[in-house]
Structure formats: structure tokens, C-alpha cells
Amino acid sequence: MISLEDVASAMPVAELLLPRLQGLYEALPETICTCDQPGVCCHSLPEMTALEAVSMIRLMQGMGDAELTATARRFAELFLTDPARRAECPFLGDGPCTVYVHRPFACRAYGLWSQDLGAVRTQESREANRALGQLWKRHGVELSPELAEREPDYCAKVEVISGRPLSDSALMSLLQRVYALGAPLGSLQTRFELEYHSDVSFLLTSIGLGAKKAMLFKLAVIKETMDRGTETHLRRALDQISAASFRIGKP
Ligand code: SF4
């Protein structure tokens, strides 16, 4: 599994790559959202590359202890309660995105893919949610059908205001370049994809609690939420997460 020391070792390499990542982001056109429910697309944490995940942990290093603890706990809460509860992206905070300038490619490209492709992906996500529901059922947990169907329809309200709209193939090629940029991170990149399914909330919870404890708490939290609707295990897990577990370069 990936430790904080692994992330710390990757940080100097990542810092050299981040300006190039911003350069790739800038190949996307500037957009405006005309949705009457702005932020609804932030209904879940986006998948991101290992480089983007390291960039998020780097941003967290600039936070004071109280903010860092609160942020890490929001990520852990999302990881531990998903899919028993709907939880928004932890970067949403109480208002707009708190990492907007650094938001990952997935957020930037959302709404730019064609409606046909977006509809296919929405369908795939809903099917994946249903499969996940079956998986939890085998562990004795019955999720509500509404949770399995929670993927919203693909957004049709993003408008390009400057620059040229990109075709699906151009967006895909840009996404491949974003992934390829992380190659110097070596095994961290493949481990993040294969072991953490590109989910930074899983990575942060594993760093905060230890990987085995994170999984055991998750099982207990989901069971308790669905069986009794209480939060004893969740509160116990979150109490164990503190800024000290995420500080790089400090004892
Ligand atoms: S990173 Fe920001 S833009 Fe992306 S889903 Fe989270 S809150 Fe929304």
C-alpha cells in the first residue's frame, strides 16, 4: 500500500511536473456552467491521476493543523460512508470548490464530452453502482436502491466561452497525456490506480488510519449505517484522524 513516506518521496518529482500538468489543463477551453443547481456535478469525488492526488496532498501541507485535520476527516467520512450515504466532494466545503485552480482533469472536462458519450458513461456508472450493491449484499448489507442509482444525468449545461470545443477523441488524447505525465512517479502511479482505484479518499483514509483499519472501519460503518442509522463506528474512526498523520517533513 502507499504510505505517507512514499508520497513524500514522490513530492519533489511531482513539483517539477505540476507546471506541465497546468499546461495540459490549459489546452481545455474556458467554460461557464449555466446550471440552475451549480455544484450538483460535484456530487462525488472525481477519479484522479496519481500526480493529481499528490498535488492535492501537497495543497494540504499548506493548511494549519485544524484545517488539515478537518479536511482529512471529510475525506475519511466520504470513504467510510460510501455507498451507504450520499456525500459530496470534500473539496466543496460550504461553498464553491476550494481547490478550483488545482481541480483535476475529470472536473475540468466534465460537460465537455459529447452528450452521447456522457450518456454511455452515466449508464456505465449506474451499472457499476448496481454491481456494488450486489457485492455489499453478499457481505450482508442491503443498500437502498436509490443509492445504487445516484449517478445524475450527464450535464448539458456547460458552455464554452473561450477557445475551441474539443472532440471526444481530442479530449481522450489530452487525458492520456495527463496520465502519461505521471510516469516519472514510477510504481506510485500504478499502485494508486490498481490498489486505490484512483480514489484519493481511499488513499488519505489509509494514510490516516492504516490500510487494514480503514477497510475494517468501512465495513463496520456501512453495516451500522444501513442497519441502525447510527454513527458510533464513524465517529470513533474520525476521532483517530489528525493532522500529524499527513504532515510531510515533520516528526
Ligand atoms: S474538486 Fe472541486 S470541481 Fe472537482 S468535484 Fe470536487 S468540488 Fe467539484
User: Per residue in 3-48, pLDDT tens?
Assistant: 999 999 999 999 999 999 999 999 999 998 888 777 778 877 899 9
Ligand 1 contacts (CB < 6 A) are 42, 46, 89, 91-92, 97, 99, 103, 107
Amino acid 174 reads: L
Q: In angstroms, rounded to a whole number, what is the distance separating the alpha carbons of residues 15 and 7? A: 12
User: Per residue in 204-236, pLDDT tens?
Assistant: 999 999 999 999 999 999 999 999 999 999 999
Q: Which amino acid residue places its CA nearest to atom 5 of ligand 1?
A: 42
DSSP H helices, the chain, are 4-25, 50-61, 65-81, 105-109, 115-138, 145-148, 168-181, 187-196, 200-209, 211-228, 232-239
Query: Cα-atom radius of gyration of the chain, to the nearest Å?
Result: 18
The grid coordinates of residue 95 equal 461553498
- pLDDT, averaged across the chain: 92
Average pLDDT of the residues in 199-203: 97
The grid coordinates of residue 43 equal 456530487
What's the 92 CA to ligand 1 centre distance in angstroms? 6
Query: Given a cut of 90, is residue 94 above it in pLDDT?
Result: no
What's the 106 CA to ligand 1 centre distance in angstroms? 9
What's the 112 CA to ligand 1 centre distance in angstroms? 15
Query: Given a cut of 80, is residue 150 above it in pLDDT?
Result: no
- Which residue pairs from 189-193 have beta carbons closer than 8 angstroms and sit at least 24 positions apart in sequence? 189/49, 189/50, 189/51, 191/1, 191/2, 191/50, 192/2, 192/49, 192/50, 192/53, 193/50
Report the candidate in 127, 143, 39, 28 with the shortest Cα–Cα distance to residue 83: 143
Res. 251 pLDDT band, cuts 50 70 90: very low
Between 79 and 251, name the one with better pLDDT: 79
Q: Are 177 and 24 in contact (CB under 8 A)?
A: yes
Q: Which amino acid residue places its CA nearest to atom 1 of ligand 1?
A: 103
Q: Which amino acid residue places its CA nearest to atom 2 of ligand 1?
A: 97
Percent of the chain with pLDDT over 70: 99
| Sign of the C-alpha dihedral computed for residues 78, 79, 85 and 86 taken in this order | positive
Peptide bond into 83 cis (omega under 30): yes
What's the 103 CA to ligand 1 centre distance in angstroms? 6
